[in-house]
Amino acid sequence: MTDRRPVLILMAKEPRPGRVKTRLAAGTGSVAAVWWARHQLRRMARRLRDPRWHLVLAVSPDLALGSALLPGGTYRVPQGPGDLGARMGRLLRAAPARPVCIVGSDIPDLSRRHVARAFAALRGADAVFGPAEDGGYWLIGLRRGGTVPATLFRGVRWSTRHALADTEASIPGLRIARVDTLRDVDEAADLQR
């Protein structure tokens, strides 16, 4: 990544039973959940490719970096160990010193337009969030990768309606922007909506 384009990181788990969408699998069965996750990830990787930014696929588990179950044609990096905050923090710290955003692969309505809005918001803010309907968020971005506040993600109650508020509270003093509210798919009821 020698040019100055921003970086979009798409976080993804290898689509295998027991590794991906376990809450969804509780309502649909593991085969259906894995099928959905695999096809959603492929659609998302295709949809988010854009000449305005570099697309990077952040893979979990790290051993799946070369997996044929993941979409091809995209630069891949390992997520590393830890909870969601530890993994996102590591990705943001390793990013080049330019705008960087992270998104999940389970947001059916996510488009390039949403990502472009987030990068545009970083022109006037230090951080940007794409709120999810459930109180979490589908996107986090920083104006400058590599320079991550030490307090980011401290005390966040993951997978709760408090995740967005907790994350914003973990970075006091930063100018925060919000973009579109979208929904993610965590459980079978989310698919029906």
pLDDT in tens, 65-88: 999 999 999 999 999 999 999 999
CATH number (domain holding residue 27): 3.90.550.10
Residue 75 maps to a domain: yes
* pTM confidence score: 0.94
Q: What pLDDT sits at residue 190? A: 73
Q: What is the dihedral of CA 125, 127, 128, 134, to 10 degrees?
A: -140
Q: CA neighbours within 13 Å on the CB side: how many for 143?
A: 12
Q: What pLDDT sits at residue 99? A: 98
For the chain, the straight-line distance linking the first and the last C-alpha, in angstroms and rounded, comes to 38
Q: Is pLDDT of 1 > 90?
A: no
Q: Find the domain containing 35 and state its range.
A: 7-192
Residue 178 maps to a domain: yes
Residue 2 maps to a domain: no
Q: What pLDDT sits at residue 191? A: 67
Q: How many domains does the chain have?
A: 1
pLDDT for 119-160, tens place per residue? 999 999 999 999 999 999 999 999 999 989 999 999 999 989
DSSP-derived 3-state class of residue 178 = strand
Q: What pLDDT sits at residue 27? A: 75
Type and span of the H or E element at 87: helix 84-94
Asked if 121 and 139 touch (Cβ cutoff 8 Å), the reply is no
Instruction: Give the list of residues 6+ apart from residue 46 with CB closer than 8 angstroms, or none.
Output: 71
Residue 140 maps to a domain: yes
The pLDDT of 164-180, averaged and rounded, is 97
Q: Which of 15-19, 37-41, 129-133 has the lowest mean pLDDT?
A: 15-19
Q: What pLDDT sits at residue 24? A: 73
User: Residue 96 carries which DSSP code?
Assistant: -
Residue 1 maps to a domain: no
